[in-house]
Amino acid sequence: MKVTQPMKIHLCTLSAILLCALLPHSARATQADDTSITITGHTAGVTPFISQVTLSASDTSVIKSIQFTITPKAGSVTRALSGTYSNSYLAERGDLQSGTGDIFLPVYGLYAGFDNTVTLTYFFNDGSSKSDSTMISTSTFNHPCGLGDPTVLQARTDAKTLSYDFFLVKGGCGGGFEPAILDTDGALRWVSPAGFSVLPSAFFENAVFQSSDTSLFRVDLDGTITSLHDYSDIGVTFLHHNIDPGKFGLIIDVDTTEQIESVNLEVDATGKVLKRWDLAEIISAAMIAGGDDPSEFVFPAPTDWFHNNTVTYNRADDSVLISSRESFVICLDYETDVIKWILGDPTKKWHQFPSLAKFELDVPAPGVPPIGEHSLSISYDQNLLLFDNGFASIFQMPQGLQRGFASPRKYTLDLAANTATEVFSLEMNQSILDPICSSIYEDAPLNYLVDYAFVGGFAAPDPVAEILGLDSAGEQIFRYQYPTNFCDTAYNSTPLHLESTKFPAVRARPLNLSTRGVVGSGDNSLIGGFIVTGTESQTVVLRALGPSLADSGLSALADPVLTLFNSAGRMIARNDDWENAANADKIAANGLAPSDPAESATYKDLVPGTYTFVVTGKDSSPGIGLVEAYDLSPLADARLANLSTRGSVGTGDGVLISGFIVGDVDSETLVLRALGPSLGSAGLSDPLSDPMLSVFDNNGVLIASNDNWQEDISAADIEKNGLAPSDDAESATILHLPAGTYTTIVSGAAEDTGVGLVEIYGLN
């Protein structure tokens, strides 16, 4: 008897095996059918934005994960806030008790003073699911900074799209409910219950990290507070200004017994110190080496000679960028601490020292250098993004220029030419005086969140903070205003993605690669490769699709066959029709069952090494096929370090199209390459002579392109990372991309055709 769908014997009683085998897959009993889960109540959390829903399950072992989703208020434009907890995460926290079947599910992001509709979705190990809902009524909440009651200068509407729907607002106005999370409707959705009125905080690994005096704390979204470390044990006297993402963890700004606002520490998620930068030592050493006297510029505590307020890490060239509000932005090599460049106002004191001036990046007119800057970050296209306050030095003399207005700015850095070319600003007719604090950050390409922290400045009787969002077309999407004292209400704000948060958190990494191209025979097969690195096995699903592409009007491959080889060239898996795969049930349970039975898939646990998969047509007839690789173990000590696909590049529908997904949170720095001529040395008879690489976001907007790799602004960094193509006609670029879905297209310049290769390298 042939069973056309994988049999799930564990769902059938022995007396009904025959009946179960004869039923179509959709009609069989599933774990969702067989498991009862009852909502038994909910308990208010430490703030009105948090609650705990209690559940009772007949069998917790079959539950894969549980998701909660909060229905937005009527008229809301934001996406629903949602969180998903894995079974193991809940069990490790004691929130899932297998012995009793009790589950205590944290729900956060509720509206205060509102009857919230919360939908719970239960996902099971066999791929089935079911939902239930409950109502959670919350008490009112008045934020001490007024963050829950903005003056609406421009409300968000559904007329325009924006890549983010939530943002973290850092402040220290008093009352102990900082930082806070708002949505882009202007509604308050979360506040820290830690009770600290302090500025430094960050969102990292799906939790808020914040400081108090000399200590660092982790505050989970469910309100759990964990003390990580008190840095007074290494001479720290205060944590100030900001907490920023680093190479491995977070970079904190600290005062010490010897130095004020010129020391930074990188710490991991447990608070352990990984690295230290002492700018007094670094700059003094450079000045001495250049024949200058550092005592004329560098001073011990309590003098605030440097005034560090933000740090960012650039993975493309392994450097750390540090803002000195008094003087400049300084870039250091991460490993050696050697100064790479300096960007700042040349009329300030630092420029009088040849030992420092030699590192200067020139800003070609009509651009201007930053003054008193804040919120350094690396944009998606590897540019430097910052908030230019336009406020002169306070301690260092000469003070330099005073502009009298603030503006976010973006610079393209050309280190070969020693230039920083301004490519974006938001001067607002030079009408906003905002001398201190403030921020701009990019979410998806060209989607910005701008925080004017101190509008009106020191002389204003009633200064305000303003937070606004810009879409990729530069259109203002929302703008909210709040009263402030100095910059205590909204010192700095960063975009967040809480519409699909997962626990445990998945760090940035390529999670999926898919490539569509013409599948022929011989060299024109669609061939993919990847490298598994780390110490553990990587679970992947590989798929080869064809017939389902016909729905898009393509001349699709009729019957794809997928073959997987290890580094020794030995075949380790082969599949024609996915339903016949050894682990077809696991493919389906992960939601990756192809829609056509003629399509191919395999589920494999792969040890670290190099792998190749080949897609051919069963009957040798050419057609357009799609090959995909999915990472199903993103939390393992293993990753897909390199994803590549080789195929025939034609014109029209015949171009080589690849898609990839950057993981659930944080950004990933990637090298993207399109090769052609160098494939000829591998014995290919028809390599693509001049490949062109284009990269698009999930809205189909072109965000980057390259023809010849040496013309790319990141050419030096591509070479430094050992990824320079061997032929000048080949293409490459580096992008710093937030979590999301992206597409690359490899075509031939002047519409030439041949075999091409598209590659994605993660630099994390």
Q: Which pLDDT band holds residue 17 (cuts at 50, 70, 90)?
A: very low
pLDDT-derived band of residue 24, with 50, 70 and 90 as boundaries? very low
The rounded distance, in Å, linking the Cα atoms of 538 and 535 is 9
Q: What confidence tens digit (pLDDT) does each residue in 445-488 have? A: 999 999 999 999 999 999 999 999 999 999 999 999 999 999 99
User: Which of 51-55, 103-107, 402-406, 737-741 bottoms out in mean pLDDT, i.e. has the lowest?
Assistant: 737-741
- Looking at every residue in the chain, the average pLDDT score rounds to 92
Percent of the residues in the chain that have a pLDDT greater than 70, as a whole number:
95
Q: What is the pLDDT of residue 11?
A: 26
Q: What is the pLDDT of residue 509?
A: 67
Between the CA of residue 398 and those of 159, 327, 341, 434, 698, what are the distances in Å? 49, 10, 21, 21, 48
Residue keyed to tokens 């997987």:
564
DSSP of 140-188: ----TT-TTS-EEEE---TTS--S-SEEEEE---SSS--SEEEETTS-E
741 vs 114, which has greater pLDDT? 114
Closest C-alpha to 110, from 171, 172, 181: 181
176 burial type by CB count under 10 A (0-12 exposed, 13-18 middle, 19+ buried): middle
Mean pLDDT for 261-281 is 98
CB 575 within 8 A of CB 600: yes
pLDDT-based confidence at 35, cuts 50/70/90?
very high
pLDDT band at 644 (very low <50, low <70, confident <90, very high): confident
Using the predicted structure, report yes or no on whether residue 312 has a pLDDT greater than 70: yes
Cα Rg of the chain (Å, integer): 28
C-alpha atoms less than 13 angstroms from C-alpha of 303 in its C-beta half-sphere: 12
Burial bucket for residue 688 (CB in 10 Å: 0-12, 13-18, 19+)? buried
SS3 375: strand
Q: Is a pLDDT exceeding 50 seen at residue 7? A: no
Nearest residue to 329 via CA among 310, 313, 355, 314: 310
DSSP 566: -
- Summarize the confidence of residues 670-686 as an average pLDDT: 88
Using 50, 70 and 90 to split pLDDT, how confident is the model at 435?
very high
* Residue 270, number of CB atoms within 10 A of its CB: 11
What pLDDT, on the 0 to 100 scale, is given for residue 190?
98
Paired tokens of 519: 């599948």
Q: Coil, strand, or helix at residue 42? A: strand
Q: Under DSSP, is residue 744 helix (H, G, I), strand (E, B) or coil?
A: strand
* Residue 170 or residue 506, greater confidence: 170
State the Cα angle at 17 between 99 and 28, rounded to 5°.
70
Torsion-angle region of 398 (φ positive above 0: left; ψ -120 to 50: alpha; else: beta): beta
Burial class of 619 by CB neighbour count within 10 A (0 to 12, 13 to 18, 19+): exposed
Which pLDDT belongs to residue 10? 29
Contact (Cβ atoms closer than 8 angstroms) between residue 88 and residue 193: no
Q: How confident is residue 15, by pLDDT bands cut at 50, 70 and 90? A: very low
Q: Residue 174: how many CB atoms within 10 A of its CB?
A: 12
- CB of 110 within 8 A of CB of 138? yes
pLDDT confidence tier of residue 57, bands split at 50, 70 and 90: very high
pLDDT confidence of residue 474 = 95
User: Residue 57 is encoded by which pair of tokens?
Assistant: 């399950």
Rounded to whole angstroms, what are the CA distances from 170 to 145, 262, 449, 482?
11, 21, 13, 13
Burial of 102 (0-12, 13-18, 19+ CB in 10 A): middle
To which residue do tokens 């009527």 refer? 74
**Tokens 């004869």 identify what position?**
22
- CA–CA distance, 550 with 543 (Å, rounded to integer): 16
Question: According to DSSP H, which parts of 348-402 are helical?
Answer: 354-357
The whole-angstrom separation of Cα 566 and Cα 583 is 19
Q: pLDDT by residue (tens digit) across 107-149?
A: 999 999 999 999 999 999 999 999 999 999 999 999 999 999 9
Query: What count of other Cβ atoms lies within 10 Å of the Cβ of residue 502?
Result: 20
Please determine, for residue 399, whether its predicted confidence score (pLDDT) is greater than 60.
yes
Is 406:452 a contact under the CB 8 Å cutoff?
A: yes
Q: How many CB atoms lie within 10 A of CB 1?
A: 5
The DSSP secondary structure of 306-333, one letter per residue, reads S-EEEEEEETTTTEEEEEETTTEEEEEE
Rounded to an integer, the average pLDDT of 688-701 is: 93
Q: What's the CA gap between 696 and 200, in Å, rounded? A: 35
The torsion defined by the Cα of 177, 374, 239 and 666, in degrees rounded to 10, comes to 70
Mean pLDDT across the stretch 546-562? 89
Region 644-658 average pLDDT = 85
The residues that bridge with 706 in the sheet, in sequence order, are 693
Phi (first) and psi of residue 585, to 5 degrees: -65, -35
Mean pLDDT of the region 685-711? 93
Mean pLDDT over 578-595 rounds to 93
